[in-house]
Amino acid sequence: MTVCVVILFTGAFIPYKKVTNSICLASGTIRTEITWFGCFKHEEQSATALDAWLKHREAGFEPTWEHMSTQTYSLLTRTCGTAGTPVIYSFRPMLNDVVAKLSDDRIADLVAILRHGSRDEQIQLIESIEHEINEER
């Protein structure tokens, strides 16, 4: 009886689902990987207009994934670990407008800063682009 209680109790803490979220630092595309019982995997992607622009402009473009968070589920607990959010994450809602309204040269500048610029440079350029797009409205 005691063994059964111990097995049931510890079994309640064994993970059955793991959700890992990653983001492409250049395009803002988000990838969600869901793993059930440690072996059945499913992947979903939420691509952005900037992702499509990059794939059109750069033959062989593949997202470079940066881990953002992992949630692990068991019957009695849920844990979440985060790695933080990159600058492009908060800019994702505007990426359709960016691709629709800015020149290819301006978009290329944005991608270059997203790939190689410092966090401050990224923030400064994104704020500039947000201001530029909002002035057009």
Cβ within 8 Å of residue 4, ≥6 positions away? none
Q: What Å distances lie between residue 21 and 16, 31, 38, 117, 121, CA to CA?
A: 17, 6, 16, 23, 25
Q: pTM for the complete prediction?
A: 0.83
Q: Cβ distance 114 to 92 under 8 Å?
A: no
Q: What is the pLDDT along the chain (137 residues), one digit of tens a residue?
A: 665 555 556 666 788 899 999 999 999 999 999 999 888 999 999 999 999 999 999 989 999 999 999 999 988 888 888 888 899 998 899 898 888 888 999 999 999 999 999 999 999 999 999 888 887 65
Cα(12)–Cα(16) distance, rounded to whole angstroms? 10
